[in-house]
Amino acid sequence: MTPLSYILTAQAAEVAQAAPEVIDRIPSGYNHFVIPFCIGIAFFLIWITVGCIRLLLKIPHHDRLRFWASLVNPVTALKNIRDLFFDCLFHVKIWKRKPLLGYMHSAIAFGWFMLIVLGHIEVALFVPKRLGISKTALFYPIFYRFFVWMNPGHTTLRGWVFFFLMDFFLLYVLTGISLAVFKRFRSLALGMKHTTKPSFADRVALYSLWLIFPLRLLAESFTADLSGGSFLTIPVNHLWHFIFGDKLWIMPSWWLYSICLGLFFAAMPFSRYMHILTEVLWILLRNAGIKPNHPRKGVAEAEIYACSSCGLCLDACPMNVQKKNLKYSSVYFIRFLRRHNEKKINEIADKCLMCDKCHALCPVGVDAPALRRAQRATVNNSICFDYSYLDSASAAVEQGWTSPGPDCRPAEGEDSTPEVMYFAGCMSHLTPRIIKSVEKVFKAAGVSYVFADEGGGICCGRPLMLAGRNEAAAKTIAANKKMIEGSGCKTLVLSCPICFKVFKEEYHLEGIKVLHYTQFFNELIASGRLKPVMGQERLVYHDPCELGRGCNVYYEPRAALSQLGTLVKASKEYDESLCCGGSLGSLTLDARDRAKISEAAVISLVANKPDKIVTACPLCLKTFSESVANSSYPVDPVRVVDFAEAISESL
């Protein structure tokens, strides 16, 4: 009889029939030792069901509909399945950066997943009546090896395959567990300089998790000669016989195994391991495009519990060049969010540089900087402001250009709309060599442009957003939008990445191409309008946080710079590049801490001895210039130049 018919007939007739390979030795299918496990898992299942329902109810109605829709939409459904496998089970994101750490996490995750899945398939094949809607379904597959014995003389290939697979995955998980234990003592060997400090509930769950699999090995190998096993459990079984002789340890070992499992599941909702299931929900919500607008309620709750406290954000955060700043890392922010510790939440939220590196490196994609901004908004968004002057300001601007110089107005008779509108932004006015170089490059390439905020303008609005003052930001955005759309220009070029990000993402400018000057100049070089001369100098490029991680612009600046000289690598680049420390994002970081962050970034940039550091952001330019000039740390003479400056010098 085929396995499928077993399941069908067994459920229909409830006849005590098992597959020929096994003897279902206990008629009730129950033993008292399963109680601890049952208590633990029942508590856990109730907790997550209630939690899940509560969470979904807190999501706004229209977002909920979007969520249900995304589950049936084939595109997002496929993405969901892919993310669930790649992020939750295989931990591909960790593999890519730290292979051994990735192996450790995936061994435990994927290995345990396979043990559970294969275990249930085993029961479905061999003792199907114990599955389905029966009294034993909860615990029977977990303790399967206790409840069945091999039927002598009925060894089959499929039986052997299952024994082999179960032992294989058990060994796989055990290698992961041993790496996890090792990591507690020598975390650097797995690529982590700092590890998370576990809370009390974390420790309970952690130690019981560590014990689960060795105890499973112990228990299953005590019964291996009776219930079967393979290359792992059988030799261990022989070992026990050699040491202990008899089988009196079967019950205690299964009791211990059950207790450990029960303890783990009972502690799970209070520990970091909740992420095992929450990250599934979080990935589904995230792929549906639902964003948190509050740091604690609604979608954010899924995000917070999806964090596994893995601690990768500790090494990522640029502030952690100083150990005293470890407590401001994302992992602890999320821990305090769970505990509703308002004072700590605000303290951590205000400190963050918003460089987004923790978000980039997070294996589950938890966007902690966005949660921090949401937290800032709960306090700062209600601060009174009066931007009524903006209406008259932008109205005045709509009449014509804001005081451009005679050079940038097109000649009489020509189409009076310039090709490009250049918006320098607030910060560039304090770094005039950027403005001068940009204008020089425009002239050299024959670009007709208008300098929108030459006499000073309205802030782009992103600093307000970074501080959580979204209402105020909306007003400045509206005022600037009116001005830009009224100008008639088709291309908007920004020299500041902060401006670029907000103009690209929040302004929704109709029919206007928004470009960062690195992109625009790269286009000019590629089309031949700019002809830079190749030089002998070694250049290193620093990815500004807002341009690189913020907008995914990595390639164009480098393409342009490789036409000017030899581009060398920094020790950390692209989405791993170090924040310069000058970011507006932090509200409370003091100058001394920022100097240390800049120092670390400069040291990373000069790793391959460049002649020039090239930046594409006025804040980075100022910060690095001062860091190199003030340097109390040993650094070879290196010039810090702006991207436009580097190009204009090579013309």
Partner 1 sequence: MVDFGFGLVPSSRINLDLFDKERYEELASMEPDVRKCMSCGSCTAVCTAGKYSATSLREAIECIHNGQPDKALGMLKSCQFCGKCTMVCPRGINTRHLILSINKTYGEL
Partner 2 sequence: MKNNVLIVGGGPAGLEASSQLQRLGYNVILIERSTALGGHLAKWDRLFPSGVSARETLKSLMGHIEGVKYFTDTEVQSINRLEKSYNVILSNGITVLADAVLMTTGFDLFKASRKEEYGYGIYNRVITNADLEAYFRNGSDPRIDNPKRIGFVHCVGSRDEKAGCRSCSKVCCATAVKQAMEMKQAFPDADVFCFYMDLRLFGRHYEDMYLSAQRDYGIRFIRGRVAEVAENADGSLQVKAEDTVASKPLKASLDLLVLMAGMRPSVSGRRVGDLLEMPVEEDGYFSVKEGIVSGQKSPHPGIFLAGAATGPKTLPDTLADARAAAVMIDQYLSDVFPEAKHYKNLVRELW
CB of 294 to partner 1, least distance (A): 17
Of 565, 568, 576, 567, nearest to 600 (Cα)?
576
Stretch that binds partner 1, among 100-108, 425-433, 483-491, 603-611 (CB under 8 A): 425-433
Partner from partner 1, partner 2, none binding residue 629, C-beta < 5-8 Å depending on class: partner 2
Quick check: 249 and 221 in contact, CB under 8 A? no
**Residue 476 contacts partner 1 per CB under 8 A:** yes
Stretch that binds partner 1, among 24-32, 277-285, 295-303, 378-386 (CB under 8 A): 378-386
Stretch that binds partner 2, among 117-125, 290-298, 346-354, 431-439 (CB under 8 A): 431-439
Alpha-carbon span 647 to 651, nearest angstrom: 7
**Residue 5 contacts partner 1 per CB under 8 A:** no
The DSSP 8-state label assigned to residue 34 in this structure reads: G
Partner from partner 1, partner 2, none binding residue 433, C-beta < 5-8 Å depending on class: partner 2
CB of 433 to partner 2, least distance (A): 5
Q: Residue 498 or 647: which CB sits closer to partner 1?
A: 498
**Residue 588 contacts partner 1 per CB under 8 A:** yes
Alpha-carbon span 443 to 429, nearest angstrom: 19
Alpha-carbon span 565 to 610, nearest angstrom: 11
**Residue 595 contacts partner 1 per CB under 8 A:** no
**107: how many CB neighbours lie within 10 A of its CB?**
22
- Per CB under 8 A, the list member of 77, 250, 444, 587 interacting with partner 1 is 587
Stretch that binds partner 1, among 215-223, 226-234, 299-307, 463-471 (CB under 8 A): 463-471
**Residue 429 contacts partner 2 per CB under 8 A:** yes
Partner from partner 1, partner 2, none binding residue 459, C-beta < 5-8 Å depending on class: partner 1
Q: Are strands 513-516 and 538-541 parallel, antiparallel or unpaired?
A: unpaired
Count the residues of the shown chain that bind partner 1, applying the rule CB under 8 A: 34
**Residue 630 contacts partner 2 per CB under 8 A:** yes
Alpha-carbon span 217 to 358, nearest angstrom: 37
**Residue 46 contacts partner 2 per CB under 8 A:** no
**Residue 405 contacts partner 2 per CB under 8 A:** yes
Partner from partner 2, partner 1, none binding residue 436, C-beta < 5-8 Å depending on class: partner 2
The DSSP 8-state label assigned to residue 95 in this structure reads: H
**Residue 458 contacts partner 1 per CB under 8 A:** yes
Which own/partner contact pairs does 81-85 have at CB distance under 8 Å and 24+ positions apart? 83/283, 83/287, 84/280, 84/283
Alpha-carbon span 477 to 228, nearest angstrom: 70
Alpha-carbon span 366 to 360, nearest angstrom: 9
- Per CB under 8 A, the list member of 576, 622, 635, 650 interacting with partner 2 is 622
**Residue 433 contacts partner 2 per CB under 8 A:** yes
Alpha-carbon span 103 to 305, nearest angstrom: 23
- Per CB under 8 A, the list member of 118, 250, 568, 584 interacting with partner 1 is 584
Quick check: 334 and 359 in contact, CB under 8 A? no
Alpha-carbon span 130 to 10, nearest angstrom: 9
CB of 438 to partner 2, least distance (A): 13
The string of DSSP codes covering 607-640 is: GG--SEEEESSHHHHHHHHHHHHS--S-----EE
Q: Residue 404 or 535: which CB sits closer to partner 2?
A: 404
* Site of interaction with partner 2 (CB under 8 A): 405-407, 429-433, 436, 454, 591, 622, 625-626, 629-630
